[in-house]
Amino acid sequence: MSDPETRQPSSAIQSVPAPARAHSPIRSRTIAMHNRDTMHAVPRPKDAVRPLSRRRRFIALRHHCGPPARTLS
């Protein structure tokens, strides 16, 4: 630990600039373009999706759309 007398005032502390290539837009765009191919990959046979039953399709639709609107009578 440093002694309080040897400490510098907060105004003397300077922030160290980050390296220029850390958050370069060109570099991040390159990574994003590279990852785009893996995101839209064709599903493999082991990743086959089972069709939903009518009941589960109805439940999923209710979750998506919300409950039916009440009628004013």
Contact 52, 60 (CB under 8 A): yes
Give the per-residue pLDDT at 33.
Answer: 60
Give the per-residue pLDDT at 12.
Answer: 57
The angle at the Cα of 42, spanning 37 to 48, to the nearest 5 degrees, equals: 145
Contact 54, 62 (CB under 8 A): no
Give the per-residue pLDDT at 66.
Answer: 84
Instruction: Name the one residue in this structure whose structure tokens are 């309080």.
Output: 4
Give the per-residue pLDDT at 56.
Answer: 93
* Separation between Cα atoms, residue 69 and residue 73, nearest integer Å: 12
* Tens of each residue's pLDDT in the chain, 73 residues: 555 566 655 555 566 565 555 555 565 555 556 555 565 666 566 666 788 899 999 999 998 888 777 777 6
